[in-house]
Amino acid sequence: MLIGLSVRNAKRQSREYLLYFITLACSVSFIYAFNTLIFSDLIADLPDLEILPYMIIVASILIVLIMGWIIGYMTNYMLKRRSRELSIYMLSGISNRSISTLVLFENILIGTVAFVLGLPVGVFLSQLLDAIIANMFNTTYRLTFSFSLYAAGFSLIYFFFMLLYAVIKNRKWIRKASLYEMLNYDRQSEKAMLSKGKSSAVVFTLSILAACVGSMLLYTTPLGNGYDVLIGLVCLILFLAGFFQSISSFLSIWFADRITWKYRKEHLILFRWFTAKIHSMSTSMGILSILLMLSIFFMGIGTSAYRIISESQQGVFDIMILHKGEITDFSYYEGMLGQKFSLSASYAYGIYTDTNDDFLQTRNNVMEQSGYSNSITLAEYQSDTYMKQSDYQALRDMLGYEQIDMNSSLCYVHCLSPLKDAFETLIAGNKNLNCEGYAFAENGVFCEPFCQMDTYGNGYDYIIVVPDVAVNRMDVLYSLWAALTETPLSTQDLQTMTKICQDLEQLNRNVIYSASGDYTTALIDNDIDYLSGRWMNSEGVTQIYAISICLFYLALVFEIIGAAILVTQLLSDRAKEQKKNQVLSQLGMDSKVITKLNRLQITLAFILPLIPALIFSSSLVSICAEKMQRNAFHLPVFENGFWFIQSFGIAMIFFLLLYCIYYCTALFSFSGI
């Protein structure tokens, strides 16, 4: 009997359960999608990403606790909505234990349907995640839409504990509730902490002051050591809490004397609803805005970090071996490494130098003008560096770049993109500029990734490409052997290379030693060769990627929690809204106008907590992204702030897609009143 009644109730109140159902289905989809990364063959094949599955498990456990709370919050809302119905059951002689069992069956039924329907969406999201991760590591992605039983099993376990936590919490209350408590349960509402009056205006003013202080600390960072960031965040949280506790009273005071505005069209109805609603759910609005701010912040940081790491991966060669001071034969390394690793291409060449420093000075000027510190103190880079045209063309061909028709009597430049304009200006403004008597070509500056971001690559930030005969009168700075492999390498592979090849050591650019004068060097031993390449720092990069993925995971969950709280609060007054609409209809207001007012009320409720969250989260992401950029690069790699706008825009697209789902849910739920 109870099972049949549960099924009937679930069908009859499908509109009431829609928000609950969507929250459960979204939770299942995200949990399944991220759990597939634990068992993904793609993750298993990628270098140094073994930490990601463990981070996903830890994040999932945290999310189970958080989602268990929000599901309990929503089931509590459903109990309020149905308290009169449950009271009738009690009057009919049905025991509290049977009523709690009835509610349990209903939750199990809705949870089962949500789990079954959420899994297909999770499969699609898992493929999207695989595509993003494959793009991170420049590997081939194949669309498969495979279903992981292990991931589904993990998701079921997590989902079970979430529901169990929520149901047990409310089931205990139902068993102990009296008839009086059940009848009056739906009349309980959130109480505002502040009463209307001058105290609200004072709190509003103080919250604005806290926002100003927090913003100033975050932008100027005068204290250092992270204290200003911590205090700034606390000030912003205090602002959001105080703002929503006082905004309704402040608006009432602000518009009290604006008679013309209040009585124009339906402004008075909208204004009274707005201030009353914000006053009654001020605490929830503050919590919601903080959750939305954290969600946008996590998404923005994740996308910005991904963009910075992608831009910093200028090491286009899988393996590079450096020999200091002279041209050497690398055939020994090619033979030894070729037996252990599948090499698709390789090439040996030299990097040269002389006494000219025109391009070096220009490069230093760009750094100074952009506010970046001049980090060149290395003994190897006291003047410009050069490469043969034949070597340059061979490397371009090896990397699959478009071949350039070079004039054998002219010089060219390959550099990082921030230096291109300055170098072109230098060449155009100095017609006498030459290298060993060879002039520079117009429009001869190229900027493809060419292993120039780090020291001891193809120059440091730039290389001058000269006719082959021009290097005859130059000194050899070092010689290089560059190779591409069939599959990505890992840190363990690099360690294997140093074991099987004698006199080969990994190049540690972070450890430098004193050289002549005020210069330093990382090349201290002429009897060994140095191993580097694009995978040299892969462990640190993959850890950043793993953290970004987990932050994105948490951001989605925070958004679900915040949006679910908002819609739940809006739906809690549906009965009052129905009575208000009936009164307005009896007074002669057109039904279309009433519907328009309802939609406008919902839109305002969704926009209000989002505006401060968006303002502060964008500021936080901007500050953190700029700091990450300066820590990652010694040159302003991004020409302007468009890169941040692009990264933040991608984060906002994901955020708004999910936010709009809950917005549409609220509109649909209110469409019947």
Q: Higher pLDDT residue, 615 or 263?
A: 615
Model confidence band, residue 25 (pLDDT cutoffs 50, 70, 90): confident
Model confidence band, residue 159 (pLDDT cutoffs 50, 70, 90): confident
Distance CA 369, CA 371 (A): 5
Q: What are the pLDDT digits (tens) for 376-431? A: 578 888 899 999 999 999 999 999 999 899 999 999 999 988 899 999 999 998 88
Q: Higher pLDDT residue, 574 or 331?
A: 331
Residue 318: exposure state from Cβ atoms within 10 A (0-12, 13-18, ≥19)? buried
Contact 552, 58 (CB under 8 A): no
Enumerate residues 6+ apart whose C-beta is below 8 A from 314. Answer: 416, 449, 450, 451, 452, 453, 454
3-class SS of residue 320: strand
What percentage of the chain carries pLDDT values higher than 70? 78
Exposure on the CB side of residue 322, measured as CA atoms within 13 A: 27
Q: What is the pLDDT of residue 588?
A: 73
Q: What is the pLDDT of residue 3?
A: 58
State mean pLDDT over 299-323.
Answer: 82
Exposure on the CB side of residue 519, measured as CA atoms within 13 A: 14
Q: What is the pLDDT of residue 539?
A: 57
Answer yes or no: is pLDDT of 243 > 90: no
Contact 463, 313 (CB under 8 A): no
Distance CA 118, CA 172 (A): 29
Model confidence band, residue 453 (pLDDT cutoffs 50, 70, 90): confident
Model confidence band, residue 470 (pLDDT cutoffs 50, 70, 90): very high
State mean pLDDT over 336-362.
Answer: 92
Short-list 652, 610, 648, CA closest to 626: 648
Q: Enumerate the H helices of 13-95 as residue ranges.
A: 18-35, 41-45, 51-81, 83-91
For the record, the structure tokens of 42 come out as: 């793609």
Widest Cα–Cα separation across the chain: 105
Helix axes of 538-571 and 591-632: crossing angle, nearest 10 degrees: 160
Q: H/E element holding 532?
A: strand 529-532
Q: What are the pLDDT digits (tens) for 167-220? A: 777 677 677 666 666 666 655 554 544 455 556 667 778 888 888 888 788 777
Distance CA 31, CA 490 (A): 28
3-class SS of residue 110: helix
Q: What is the pLDDT of residue 17?
A: 67
Short-list 292, 230, 312, 293, CA closest to 545: 312
Answer yes or no: is pLDDT of 445 > 90: yes
Q: For the stretch 218-228, what's the b/e string if a residue is b when 16 or more beta carbons lie within 10 angstroms of its beta carbon?
A: beebeeeeeeb
In this structure, which long-range contacts are made by residues 649-655, counting pairs with CB atoms below 8 Å and at least 24 apart in sequence?
650/303, 651/296, 651/299, 651/300, 651/302, 651/303, 651/621, 652/296, 652/299, 654/299, 654/552, 654/556, 655/295, 655/296, 655/299, 655/555, 655/559
DSSP collapsed to 3 states, 394-422: HHHHHHCCCCCCCCCCCEEEEECHHHHHH
The model carries a pTM of: 0.73
Residue 142: Cβ within 10 Å count: 9
Distance CA 366, CA 375 (A): 12
Distance CA 393, CA 396 (A): 5
Q: How would DSSP label each residue in 581-624?
A: HHHHHHTT--HHHHHHHHHHHHHHHHHHHHHHHHHHHHHHHHHH
Q: Higher pLDDT residue, 186 or 360?
A: 360
Q: What is the pLDDT of residue 8?
A: 58
Contact 333, 498 (CB under 8 A): no
Answer yes or no: is pLDDT of 485 > 80: yes
Q: Best-predicted range by mean pLDDT among 147-156, 464-473, 601-610?
A: 464-473
Q: Higher pLDDT residue, 145 or 599?
A: 599
Answer yes or no: is pLDDT of 306 > 90: no
The phi-psi region of residue 461 (left if phi > 0; otherwise alpha if psi is between -120 and 50; otherwise beta) is: left
Contact 490, 47 (CB under 8 A): yes
Q: Which strands sit side by side in the sheet containing 343-353, from one edge to the other?
A: 434-435, 438-446, 411-415, 462-466, 385-388, 343-353, 475-485, 319-324, 529-532, 504-506
Enumerate residues 6+ apart whose C-beta is below 8 A from 601. Answer: 270, 273, 274, 277
Answer yes or no: is pLDDT of 54 > 80: no
Helix axes of 358-370 and 420-429: crossing angle, nearest 10 degrees: 130
Answer yes or no: is pLDDT of 250 > 60: yes
Model confidence band, residue 369 (pLDDT cutoffs 50, 70, 90): confident
Q: What are the pLDDT digits (tens) for 69-112? A: 777 777 777 776 667 777 777 777 777 777 777 777 777 788 88
Short-list 638, 628, 462, CA closest to 547: 628
Q: What is the pLDDT of residue 344?
A: 92
Least confident of 369-373, 485-489, 546-550: 369-373
Contact 409, 383 (CB under 8 A): no
Least confident of 39-53, 492-506, 582-596: 39-53
Q: What is the pLDDT of residue 391?
A: 96
Model confidence band, residue 552 (pLDDT cutoffs 50, 70, 90): confident
What one-letter code names the amino acid at 437?
Answer: G
State mean pLDDT over 128-135.
Answer: 75
- Residue 306 has phi, psi (to 5 degrees) of -60, -40
Q: Higher pLDDT residue, 235 or 140?
A: 235
Model confidence band, residue 251 (pLDDT cutoffs 50, 70, 90): low
Least confident of 136-145, 165-174, 548-557, 630-639: 136-145
Instruction: Tell me the average pLDDT of the chain.
Output: 79
Q: What is the pLDDT of residue 446?
A: 95
3-class SS of residue 173: helix
State mean pLDDT over 258-271.
Answer: 64
